Chains A and B, each alone.
Chain A
Amino acid sequence: DAGITQSPRHKVTETGTPVTLRCHQTENHRYMYWYRQDPGHGLRLIHYSYGVKDTDKGEVSDGYSVSRSKTEDFLLTLESATSSQTSVYFCAITPGTYNEQFFGPGTRLTVL
């Protein structure tokens, strides 16, 4: 158990509504990541953080924003959800570049 949780685990929402997903860690690791997983695409990086208030974009960041006001929490926000954002979202943490990532259980988001 890597001490990483995600909430909610499942969510169904409607197009145009805002959605916030939460990732919480108890490991005090510096790096945190948000990925989305879709069939045929593997895991694609949305945003990542390398410290409190330090975040950067990944390869599929359009339509998403993030915030990290505390070491333990990394929030992913969909300002106005679209059907193309229906996916499974995974949070990951790692202490550093040469270290493995630890993944949360995932959040299944459906946008109708």
Chain B
Amino acid sequence: AQSVTQLDSHVSVSEGTPVLLRCNYSSSYSPSLFWYVQHPNKGLQLLLKYTSAATLVKGINGFEAEFKKSETSFHLTKPSAHMSDAAEYFCVVSASGGSYIPTFGRGTSLIVHP
């Protein structure tokens, strides 16, 4: 069994300030973890992924995430927010053990103020 919880439905930041989007997961098997971004009226795009290599994963557009097994977390961060970062972000867990169904979090809406 697997699940993912995005701890905030909305996060509001000012342009130039750090971004933190929180994600906790549970999985009976060694998981793969993903962050996707969805801009308004667009499809989902992969930001970054963790697949049991380095625990600190760097993605596109300056985003990174750290896999912490002891905390079952995979939080997404960015040092300095840009207006173009305003979007919906989804954390996803996918694991082996016979299930080929990724599990999505409900999403976090990132709002960036000028």
Closest chain B residue to A105 by CB distance?
A: B43
Chain A 74-103 interface residues, beta-carbon cutoff 8 Å to B: 90, 92, 94, 96-103
Kindly state the separation between the CA atoms of A92 and B90 in the bound complex, as whole angstroms: 15
Determine if B90 and A42 form an interchain contact, defined as CB atoms under 8 angstroms apart. Answer: yes
Report the minimal beta-carbon distance from A40 to chain B, rounded to whole angstroms.
7
Q: Are B51 and A98 in contact (CB under 8 A)?
A: yes
Interface string of B73-112 (1 = CB under 8 A from A): 0000000000000000010101110011110111100000
Q: Does B26 contact A (CB under 8 A)?
A: no
Q: How far is the CA of A58 from the CA of B49 in the complex (A)?
A: 23
Give min CB distance, A68 to chain B, whole Å. Answer: 14
- Is B67 among interface residues, defined by CB-CB distance under 8 A? no
CB distance from B58 to the nearest CB of A (A): 15
Name the B residues within 8 Å of A94 (CB-CB).
102
* Distance in Å: Cβ of A97 to nearest Cβ of chain B: 5
Interface residues in A16-49 by Cβ distance below 8 A to B read 31, 33, 40-45, 48
Q: Is B7 an interface residue (CB 8 A)?
A: no
Partner of A41, one of B43, B100, B106: B106
Indicate if the CB atoms of B100 and A42 lie closer than 8 Å.
no
Q: What is A's interface to B at a CB cutoff of 8 Å?
A: 31, 33, 40-45, 48, 50, 58, 90, 92, 94, 96-106
Q: List 26 A-B contacts (CB under 8 A).
A: A31-B100, A41-B106, A42-B90, A42-B104, A42-B105, A42-B106, A43-B104, A48-B100, A48-B101, A58-B101, A92-B44, A94-B102, A96-B100, A97-B94, A97-B99, A97-B100, A98-B51, A98-B96, A99-B32, A100-B46, A100-B49, A101-B34, A103-B36, A103-B44, A105-B42, A106-B42
Taking beta carbons and an 8 Å cutoff, which residues of B are in contact with A? 32, 34, 36, 42-46, 49, 51, 90, 92, 94-96, 99-102, 104-107
